[in-house]
Amino acid sequence: MPSPTPLTETDVLAAIAPEGGRPGGGADASDTAVRIMLAAADAFAANGFPATTTRDIASRAGLSPAGVYVHFASKEVLLFELSRRGHARARDLLVEAARDTPDATTALRAIVGGFSRWHAEHHQLGRIVQFEFRHLSDEHQAEVLGLRKEIDQVVADVLRAGVAAGEFEVDDVRTTALALLSMAIDVARWYVPGGRRTPEAIETTYGELAVRLVRRSVR
Protein backbone atom coordinates (compact mmCIF):
# COMPACT_ATOMS: atom_id res chain seq x y z
CA MET A 1 0.00 0.00 0.00
CA PRO A 2 2.48 2.67 -1.08
CA SER A 3 1.63 6.32 -0.75
CA PRO A 4 -0.17 7.46 -3.91
CA THR A 5 2.01 10.52 -4.35
CA PRO A 6 5.51 10.22 -2.89
CA LEU A 7 6.71 13.16 -0.92
CA THR A 8 8.80 15.48 -3.02
CA GLU A 9 12.00 16.83 -1.59
CA THR A 10 10.61 20.34 -1.78
CA ASP A 11 7.46 19.31 0.04
CA VAL A 12 9.19 18.04 3.11
CA LEU A 13 12.06 20.48 3.00
CA ALA A 14 9.57 23.31 3.29
CA ALA A 15 8.23 21.73 6.44
CA ILE A 16 11.36 20.59 8.22
CA ALA A 17 13.73 23.26 6.97
CA PRO A 18 16.32 24.42 9.52
CA GLU A 19 14.79 27.24 11.50
CA GLY A 20 17.43 29.79 10.54
CA GLY A 21 18.98 31.73 13.39
CA ARG A 22 16.00 31.53 15.72
CA PRO A 23 17.11 30.75 19.26
CA GLY A 24 15.73 27.55 20.69
CA GLY A 25 15.66 25.84 17.34
CA GLY A 26 17.55 22.63 16.76
CA ALA A 27 21.00 22.24 15.35
CA ASP A 28 21.51 22.26 11.61
CA ALA A 29 21.80 18.91 9.88
CA SER A 30 24.35 17.74 7.33
CA ASP A 31 23.29 17.12 3.75
CA THR A 32 23.31 13.39 4.29
CA ALA A 33 21.30 13.71 7.49
CA VAL A 34 18.72 15.77 5.63
CA ARG A 35 18.62 13.20 2.85
CA ILE A 36 17.96 10.50 5.42
CA MET A 37 15.19 12.55 7.02
CA LEU A 38 13.52 13.05 3.65
CA ALA A 39 13.77 9.31 2.98
CA ALA A 40 12.35 8.52 6.40
CA ALA A 41 9.46 10.94 5.93
CA ASP A 42 8.67 9.26 2.64
CA ALA A 43 8.78 5.79 4.16
CA PHE A 44 6.85 6.69 7.34
CA ALA A 45 4.17 8.40 5.24
CA ALA A 46 3.84 5.34 3.04
CA ASN A 47 3.81 2.63 5.69
CA GLY A 48 3.63 4.19 9.12
CA PHE A 49 6.45 4.22 11.65
CA PRO A 50 6.40 0.67 13.05
CA ALA A 51 6.01 -0.94 9.63
CA THR A 52 8.89 1.06 8.18
CA THR A 53 12.23 -0.75 8.11
CA THR A 54 15.59 0.88 8.48
CA ARG A 55 16.52 -0.97 5.31
CA ASP A 56 13.79 0.88 3.47
CA ILE A 57 14.92 4.25 4.79
CA ALA A 58 18.53 3.46 3.95
CA SER A 59 17.83 2.34 0.41
CA ARG A 60 15.65 5.38 -0.26
CA ALA A 61 18.54 7.54 0.93
CA GLY A 62 21.05 5.62 -1.16
CA LEU A 63 22.86 4.17 1.85
CA SER A 64 23.44 0.80 3.41
CA PRO A 65 21.42 0.06 6.56
CA ALA A 66 24.51 0.65 8.66
CA GLY A 67 25.07 4.05 7.08
CA VAL A 68 21.98 5.47 8.72
CA TYR A 69 23.29 4.84 12.22
CA VAL A 70 26.21 7.19 11.70
CA HIS A 71 23.73 10.06 11.56
CA PHE A 72 20.87 8.90 13.76
CA ALA A 73 21.11 6.71 16.82
CA SER A 74 17.85 4.90 16.07
CA LYS A 75 14.70 4.87 13.99
CA GLU A 76 12.89 6.57 16.85
CA VAL A 77 15.31 9.49 16.83
CA LEU A 78 14.55 9.97 13.16
CA LEU A 79 10.84 10.18 13.94
CA PHE A 80 11.57 12.64 16.71
CA GLU A 81 13.61 14.92 14.45
CA LEU A 82 10.81 15.00 11.89
CA SER A 83 8.24 15.68 14.62
CA ARG A 84 10.28 18.39 16.27
CA ARG A 85 11.06 20.20 13.05
CA GLY A 86 7.54 19.82 11.70
CA HIS A 87 5.96 21.22 14.86
CA ALA A 88 8.45 24.05 15.10
CA ARG A 89 7.86 25.04 11.49
CA ALA A 90 4.08 24.95 11.93
CA ARG A 91 4.36 27.10 15.04
CA ASP A 92 6.53 29.63 13.20
CA LEU A 93 4.01 29.83 10.37
CA LEU A 94 1.20 30.55 12.85
CA VAL A 95 3.15 33.28 14.57
CA GLU A 96 4.03 34.89 11.26
CA ALA A 97 0.43 34.69 10.03
CA ALA A 98 -0.86 36.44 13.14
CA ARG A 99 1.72 39.21 12.92
CA ASP A 100 0.82 42.50 11.23
CA THR A 101 -2.92 41.90 11.10
CA PRO A 102 -5.24 44.87 11.66
CA ASP A 103 -7.67 43.07 13.96
CA ALA A 104 -8.32 39.74 15.67
CA THR A 105 -10.84 38.65 13.04
CA THR A 106 -8.23 38.97 10.30
CA ALA A 107 -5.63 37.28 12.46
CA LEU A 108 -7.88 34.32 13.25
CA ARG A 109 -8.87 33.91 9.63
CA ALA A 110 -5.19 33.92 8.66
CA ILE A 111 -3.92 31.47 11.24
CA VAL A 112 -6.71 28.89 11.02
CA GLY A 113 -6.82 29.17 7.23
CA GLY A 114 -3.05 28.92 6.97
CA PHE A 115 -2.81 26.05 9.44
CA SER A 116 -5.51 24.15 7.57
CA ARG A 117 -3.78 24.72 4.26
CA TRP A 118 -0.47 23.57 5.77
CA HIS A 119 -2.11 20.31 6.86
CA ALA A 120 -3.41 19.79 3.34
CA GLU A 121 -0.18 20.61 1.53
CA HIS A 122 1.91 18.72 4.06
CA HIS A 123 -0.65 16.07 4.89
CA GLN A 124 1.89 13.28 4.78
CA LEU A 125 4.22 14.96 7.25
CA GLY A 126 1.16 16.04 9.21
CA ARG A 127 0.03 12.45 9.61
CA ILE A 128 3.49 11.45 10.73
CA VAL A 129 3.76 14.06 13.45
CA GLN A 130 0.14 13.75 14.60
CA PHE A 131 -0.50 10.03 14.35
CA GLU A 132 2.90 8.50 15.12
CA PHE A 133 3.32 10.55 18.28
CA ARG A 134 2.81 7.53 20.54
CA HIS A 135 5.89 5.85 19.10
CA LEU A 136 8.18 8.53 20.48
CA SER A 137 10.00 7.88 23.73
CA ASP A 138 8.58 9.52 26.85
CA GLU A 139 11.25 12.22 26.78
CA HIS A 140 10.65 13.02 23.15
CA GLN A 141 6.90 13.03 23.67
CA ALA A 142 7.35 15.62 26.38
CA GLU A 143 9.46 17.83 24.15
CA VAL A 144 6.92 17.71 21.33
CA LEU A 145 4.10 18.40 23.78
CA GLY A 146 5.87 21.61 24.71
CA LEU A 147 5.76 22.71 21.08
CA ARG A 148 2.09 21.79 20.87
CA LYS A 149 1.32 23.95 23.87
CA GLU A 150 3.04 26.87 22.15
CA ILE A 151 0.78 26.34 19.16
CA ASP A 152 -2.32 26.26 21.38
CA GLN A 153 -1.14 29.47 22.95
CA VAL A 154 -0.93 31.35 19.66
CA VAL A 155 -4.58 30.58 18.91
CA ALA A 156 -5.75 31.26 22.46
CA ASP A 157 -4.01 34.65 22.44
CA VAL A 158 -5.81 35.70 19.28
CA LEU A 159 -9.13 34.62 20.77
CA ARG A 160 -8.51 36.61 23.94
CA ALA A 161 -7.55 39.67 21.91
CA GLY A 162 -10.73 39.34 19.87
CA VAL A 163 -12.87 39.06 22.99
CA ALA A 164 -11.18 42.08 24.52
CA ALA A 165 -11.77 44.08 21.34
CA GLY A 166 -15.44 43.11 21.25
CA GLU A 167 -15.03 41.18 18.00
CA PHE A 168 -15.50 37.72 19.45
CA GLU A 169 -17.77 36.05 21.94
CA VAL A 170 -16.13 32.95 23.43
CA ASP A 171 -17.25 30.92 26.42
CA ASP A 172 -14.14 28.82 26.95
CA VAL A 173 -11.03 30.11 25.21
CA ARG A 174 -8.90 26.99 25.63
CA THR A 175 -11.58 24.59 24.47
CA THR A 176 -12.48 26.77 21.51
CA ALA A 177 -8.82 27.06 20.53
CA LEU A 178 -8.55 23.30 20.71
CA ALA A 179 -11.63 22.81 18.55
CA LEU A 180 -10.29 25.22 15.95
CA LEU A 181 -6.99 23.39 15.83
CA SER A 182 -8.85 20.07 15.60
CA MET A 183 -10.62 21.22 12.46
CA ALA A 184 -7.31 22.15 10.87
CA ILE A 185 -5.29 19.16 12.04
CA ASP A 186 -7.94 16.70 10.94
CA VAL A 187 -7.45 17.94 7.39
CA ALA A 188 -4.27 15.87 7.34
CA ARG A 189 -6.32 12.77 8.10
CA TRP A 190 -8.89 13.06 5.30
CA TYR A 191 -7.12 15.14 2.64
CA VAL A 192 -6.36 13.44 -0.66
CA PRO A 193 -4.48 15.28 -3.42
CA GLY A 194 -6.57 15.73 -6.50
CA GLY A 195 -9.80 15.52 -4.55
CA ARG A 196 -12.71 17.91 -4.60
CA ARG A 197 -11.01 20.37 -2.27
CA THR A 198 -7.77 22.20 -3.06
CA PRO A 199 -5.45 23.49 -0.32
CA GLU A 200 -6.33 27.04 -1.38
CA ALA A 201 -10.06 26.37 -1.10
CA ILE A 202 -9.52 24.74 2.27
CA GLU A 203 -7.61 27.79 3.47
CA THR A 204 -10.47 30.12 2.51
CA THR A 205 -13.29 27.92 3.78
CA TYR A 206 -11.71 26.99 7.08
CA GLY A 207 -10.64 30.57 7.76
CA GLU A 208 -14.25 31.65 7.39
CA LEU A 209 -15.56 28.77 9.49
CA ALA A 210 -13.20 29.81 12.27
CA VAL A 211 -14.52 33.34 12.25
CA ARG A 212 -18.13 32.08 12.25
CA LEU A 213 -17.40 29.94 15.28
CA VAL A 214 -16.37 32.87 17.48
CA ARG A 215 -18.06 35.94 15.99
CA ARG A 216 -20.17 38.02 18.23
CA SER A 217 -23.87 37.60 17.62
CA VAL A 218 -25.65 40.88 16.97
CA ARG A 219 -29.06 40.95 18.59
Partner DNA sequence: GTCTATAGGCAGATAGAC
Partner DNA sequence: GTCTATCTGCCTATAGAC
Q: State how far Cα 147 lies from the chain centre.
A: 11
Picked from its own copies, DNA, none, the partner binding residue 176 (CB below 5 to 8 A depending on kind) is: its own copies
d(CA 85, CA 24): 12
φ, ψ dihedrals at 98, nearest 5°: -80, -20
Neighbouring CB atoms inside 10 A of 10's CB total: 9
Task: Report residue 58 CA to chain centroid gap.
Answer: 25
Question: Residue 65 binds what, of its own copies, DNA, none (CB under 5 to 8 Å, by partner type)?
Answer: DNA
Does 192 bind its own copies (CB under 8 A)? Our answer is no
* Closest approach of DNA to the CB of residue 137, in Å: 11
182 binds, among its own copies, DNA, none (CB under 5 to 8 A by kind): its own copies
> Amino acid identity, residue 180?
L
Q: Closest CB to DNA among 33 and 158?
A: 33
Cβ at position 18, least distance to DNA in Å? 16
3-class secondary structure, 32: helix
CB 213 within 8 A of CB 162: no
- Binders of its own copies among residues 23 to 52 (CB under 8 A) are 47-48, 50-51
Return d(Cα 15, Cα 207) in angstroms, integer.
21
* 44 Cα distance to chain centroid: 15
Binding mask 7-46 for DNA (x = CB under 7 A): -----------------------x-x--------------
Nearest to 176 by CA among 126, 218, 219, 212: 212
- 210 contacts 143 by C-beta, under 8 angstroms: no
Is 70 near DNA (CB under 7 A)? yes
Among 18, 135, 143, 150, binds its own copies (CB under 8 A): 135
Select from 83, 105, 124, 176 the one that contacts its own copies (CB under 8 A): 176
3-state secondary structure of 41: helix
- Say whether residue 67 binds DNA (CB under 7 A): yes
Q: What angle do CA 181, 109, 191 make, to 5 degrees?
A: 50
Q: Is 172 in the site for its own copies (CB under 8 A)?
A: yes
- Positions in the binding site for its own copies (CB under 8 A): 1, 47-48, 50-51, 130-131, 134-135, 138, 171-172, 175-176, 178-179, 182-183, 185-187, 189-190, 197, 205-206, 208-209, 212-215, 217-219
- Positions in the binding site for DNA (CB under 7 A): 30, 32, 52-56, 58, 62-67, 69-71, 73-76
